[in-house]
Amino acid sequence: MSLQISVAIPLLNEEESLTELTQWIDKVMKANNFSYEIIFVDDGSTDGSWNLIQELSKKYDSVRAIKFRRNYGKSPGLQKAFEAAKGDVIITMDADLQDSPDEIPELYRMIKEDGYDLVSGWKQKRYDPITKTIPTKLYNGVTRLMSGIKLNDMNCGLKAYKKEVVKNIEVYGDMHRYIPVIAKWAGYGKIGEKVVQHQARKYGTSKFGINRFIRGPLDLASIMFVSKYGKRPMHFFGMIGILLLSIGFLLLAYLSVKKLFFDQIGIASLPSFYLGMLSIIVGVQLFIAGFLAELISRNAPERNKYVIEETI
């Protein structure tokens, strides 16, 4: 029988919470007769987290673990957990006990019975400071607007995935915030949401600083661009380049005709002359950028990677 659930848990310096979290997950799994594994990914912890994980792996046969030599971030941790996961449904959660394992049975049911590709938790009632909740609401609103995905809590760590989803997407940089967007562009558009309980932090402090609000919008823009134009960059750069070239050419042609047949004033003294020249220069540069990007994409190893749903 195949493994039903893989629980992927990236962590950094969470020694105090790991034993309680493992016991809680084990209790929920046994109560529901789930076959499962827990995959801890230690993101370069400097406390006793890894030693504790080694002890837990001896006590619980379900515990597997990966240790990074240094801190790389949450996205690489999730990616490595996704690669290692063997369960039919993959559940991700944070290691700080703010995500409740009691939510796992319903998340599993929504994937297996309701047919969702991905189910994201929604921490409707949060126990975070206002300095975190207000920027989070703004971030979620912008992401909904740009991606078209109607989720209230895009960055909730508690999520459930079909196995094929995590095996066909790649998470890198700080892209873990936008996994629903990545999944949608990979063709997995049945995305659901479940209100989940948010626990107040019991141990330690948050590992995410204010810089996430700077990197986040840049990551979203990157995903939106790469998803739409990653395999055809000429469509983006070339289109804008040709538009600017046309504007510059028409503007200079108009000034030339005006100079030859109507006015004797030198066109080099007119602001519109420099605007036309600038449009042509920028247009040529963008067209060349698109051409070079097209050459690079055609030689990239990922150029013909497409997700196949079914073969007969």
Give the pLDDT mean for 253-280: 81
Return the structure tokens found at 115.
């047919």
Among the ranges given (82-91, 160-169, 226-235, 302-311), the one the predictor scored with the smallest mean pLDDT = 302-311
Answer whether 0.85 is exceeded by the pTM. no
Over residues 272-304, the pLDDT tens digits come to 888 989 999 998 998 888 888 777 766 655 554
Return the structure tokens found at 216.
């986040």
> Distance between CA 277 and CA 197 in Å, rounded?
59
Return the structure tokens found at 1.
């029988």
Beta carbons within 10 angstroms of residue 112's beta carbon:
14
Over residues 101-111, the pLDDT tens digits come to 999 999 999 99
Find the farthest-apart pair of alpha carbons in the chain and give their distance in angstroms, rounded: 92
Among the ranges given (30-34, 129-133, 234-238, 247-251), the one the predictor scored with the smallest mean pLDDT = 129-133
CATH homologous superfamily for the domain 5-229:
Spore Coat Polysaccharide Biosynthesis Protein SpsA; Chain A (3.90.550.10)
Beta carbons within 10 angstroms of residue 172's beta carbon:
13
> Distance between CA 152 and CA 155 in Å, rounded?
9
Q: Which residues contact 303 (CB under 8 A, 6 or more apart)?
A: 231, 297
Specify the higher pLDDT residue, 146 or 51. Answer: 51
Beta carbons within 10 angstroms of residue 237's beta carbon:
20
Give the pLDDT mean for 59-66: 95
Over residues 228-245, the pLDDT tens digits come to 666 677 777 888 888 999
Return the structure tokens found at 302.
């990922």
Total number of residues shown for the chain: 312
Sign of CA dihedral 165, 169, 175, 178: negative
Q: In which residue are the tokens 């929504």 written?
A: 110
In contact, 151 and 193? CB cutoff 8 Å: yes
Domain ranges of the chain: 5-229, 233-298
At 185 the pLDDT is 84
Over residues 184-212, the pLDDT tens digits come to 988 898 999 999 987 766 666 665 555 55
Q: 92 in helix, strand or coil?
A: strand
At 78 the pLDDT is 94
Question: Does pLDDT of 312 surpass 50?
Answer: no
Among the ranges given (9-18, 150-159, 218-227, 281-290), the one the predictor scored with the smallest mean pLDDT = 218-227
